[in-house]
């Protein structure tokens, strides 16, 4: 079952300079569905629009970001809610209890002058009527921390007394205490060292197993996707260019950009430098015509310079936006697609 549907979503940063408007096309015609209980990974190099996409999914589009078209629909309790046209109060109600957001750089979201316990108290208090029942609050927070393997003493600490990894776990504990159905996490482990990172990812996995929620997990790190994601969507220059189950994307990446992303991961025993994509990503304010990847693509043909490829089926649950990859895989794609019907 789908919990979230994104259809042809466009959100641009509209910048004005010298009386002229310039559009930074950060989310450019994105269509995507998120299924119940899955971890959907979103990957792609810095500046491709991952965080902007996540903010748009939350309906949090404020100037200079502007909604230029498309829809974001939540399917909740048999209701369809178009979050971008929902009144603010209804959107906020839906948020936090049902959707929770771990923003990028969230190591710094905890208020430095408040004890962790007070932050929990005001957050939970804003959503549940706990003022009358402090015991209920205490037991809710304690049992949640214990479930997440965090020491209850953490509640007495100030953020600066905790390590980066612990602060990030506390942020995740805060984001999940109300058992949201959907968690949107933006690079939750990026600022941490590898061992601590593993702990944070494991924590999110444990929460998902226990609470059966759905996670949209943004990280540029493909190794993390290999660990946690069920499906992965690859973004390039504001668009989704490939989408497939995680095993499939690693075993058979079709888009040349995905092939570079996966090919650049180290392999044991191989001491040579792995290939990364040549060149740099285009400016989102000045995209090349046709496929935005064509200037970096080793296989580009004339159609790639003229037309934008759409995301089309290239195997079971596998979509790719590449004229050449789709052509190459057409036989497999059509037979598998038939097989899945």
Chain contacts with ligand ATP (rule: CB under 6 A) = 13, 24, 26, 44, 46-52, 64, 104, 220, 284
Q: Which of residues 64 and 151 has its CB atom nearest to ligand ATP in the complex?
A: 64
Q: Pick from Mg ion, ligand ATP, none: which does 284 bind, CB < 5 to 8 A by kind? A: ligand ATP
Q: Pick from Mg ion, ligand ATP, none: which does 341 bind, CB < 5 to 8 A by kind? A: none
Q: Which of residues 84 and 150 has its CB atom nearest to ligand ATP in the complex?
A: 84
Q: Pick from Mg ion, ligand ATP, none: which does 26 bind, CB < 5 to 8 A by kind? A: ligand ATP
51 binds Mg ion (CB under 5 A): yes
Q: How far apart are CA 203 and CA 3, in angstroms?
A: 22
> Angle at the Cα of 241 (from 27 to 244), degrees rounded to 5?
120
Q: Which residues contact 256 (CB under 8 A, 6 or more apart)?
A: 277, 293, 297, 298, 299, 322, 325
Long-range own/partner contacts, residues 321-326 (CB < 8 A, 24 or more apart): 321/239, 321/240, 321/241, 321/242, 321/255, 321/291, 322/241, 322/242, 322/254, 322/255, 322/256, 322/291, 323/291, 324/299, 325/254, 325/255, 325/256, 326/254
Residue 235 CB, shortest distance to ligand ATP, in Å, is 7
Q: How many residues does the chain have?
A: 341
Residue 217 CB, shortest distance to Mg ion, in Å, is 12
How would you label 264-300 residue by residue, b for 16+ Cβ within 10 Å and e otherwise?
eeeeeeeeeeeeebeeebbebeebeebbbbbbbbeeb
Q: How many CB atoms lie within 10 A of CB 70?
A: 18
Q: Pick from ligand ATP, Mg ion, none: which does 214 bind, CB < 5 to 8 A by kind? A: none
Q: Pick from ligand ATP, Mg ion, none: which does 282 bind, CB < 5 to 8 A by kind? A: none
Q: Pick from Mg ion, ligand ATP, none: which does 64 bind, CB < 5 to 8 A by kind? A: ligand ATP
Q: Pick from ligand ATP, Mg ion, none: which does 149 bind, CB < 5 to 8 A by kind? A: none
Residue 52 CB, shortest distance to ligand ATP, in Å, is 3
Q: Which of residues 47 and 199 has its CB atom nearest to ligand ATP in the complex?
A: 47
Residue 115 CB, shortest distance to Mg ion, in Å, is 30
Size of the site for Mg ion (CB under 5 A): 3
Residue 58 CB, shortest distance to ligand ATP, in Å, is 13
Q: Pick from Mg ion, ligand ATP, none: which does 13 bind, CB < 5 to 8 A by kind? A: ligand ATP
Burial of 46 (0-12, 13-18, 19+ CB in 10 A): exposed
Site for Mg ion in 77-116 (CB under 5 A): 104
Residue 219 CB, shortest distance to Mg ion, in Å, is 9
- What the block records as the tokens of 282 is 């285009």
Which residues on neighbouring strands pair with residue 40, listed in sequence order? 216, 231
Q: Which of residues 52 and 154 has its CB atom nearest to Mg ion in the complex?
A: 52
* Alpha-helix residue ranges (DSSP H) falling in 50-133: 50-57, 88-97, 116-127
Element (H, E) at 32: strand 20-35
Residue 191 CB, shortest distance to Mg ion, in Å, is 12
Residue 244 CB, shortest distance to ligand ATP, in Å, is 20
Q: How far apart are CA 322 and CA 325, in angstroms?
A: 5
Q: Which of residues 72 and 177 has its CB atom nearest to ligand ATP in the complex?
A: 72
Residue ranges in contact with Mg ion by CB under 5 A: 50-51, 104
């Amino acid at each position: 079952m789908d919990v979230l549907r994104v259809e042809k979503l466009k959100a641009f940063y509209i910048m004005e300079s010298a009386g002229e408007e310039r559009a930074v096309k950060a989310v450019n015609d994105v269509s995507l569905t998120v299924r119940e209980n899955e971890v959907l990974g979103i990957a792609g190099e810095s500046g491709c629009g991952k965080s902007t996409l996540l903010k748009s999914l939350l309906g949090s589009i404020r100037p200079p970001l502007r909604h230029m078209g498309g829809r974001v629909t939540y399917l909740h309790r048999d209701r369809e809610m178009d979050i971008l046209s929902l009144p603010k109060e209804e959107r906020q109600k839906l948020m936090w209890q049902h959707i929770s957001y771990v923003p990028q750089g969230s190591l710094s979201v905890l208020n430095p002058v408040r004890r962790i316990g007070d932050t929990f108290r005001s957050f939970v208090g804003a959503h549940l009527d706990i003022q009358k029942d402090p015991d209920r609050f205490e037991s809710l927070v304690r049992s949640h921390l214990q479930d997440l393997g965090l020491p209850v003493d953490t509640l007495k600490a100030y953020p600066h007394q905790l390590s980066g990894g612990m602060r990030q776990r506390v942020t995740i504990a805060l984001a999940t205490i109300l058992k949201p159905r959907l968690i949107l996490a933006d690079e939750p482990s990026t600022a941490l060292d590898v061992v601590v990172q593993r702990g944070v990812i494991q924590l999110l996995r444990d929460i998902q197993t226990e609470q059966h929620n759905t996670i949209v997990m943004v990280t540029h790190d493909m190794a993390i996707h290999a660990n946690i994601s069920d499906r992965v969507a690859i973004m390039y220059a504001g668009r989704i260019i490939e989408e497939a189950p995680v095993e499939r994307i690693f075993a058979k990446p079709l888009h040349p950009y995905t092939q570079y992303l996966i090919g650049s991961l180290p392999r044991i025993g191989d001491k040579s430098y792995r290939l990364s994509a040549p060149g740099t990503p285009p400016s989102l304010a000045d995209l090349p015509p046709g496929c935005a990847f064509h200037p970096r693509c080793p296989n580009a043909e004339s159609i790639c310079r003229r037309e934008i490829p759409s995301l089309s089926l290239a195997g079971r649950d596998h979509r790719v936006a590449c004229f050449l990859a789709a052509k190459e895989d057409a036989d497999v794609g059509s037979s598998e697609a038939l097989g899945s019907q």
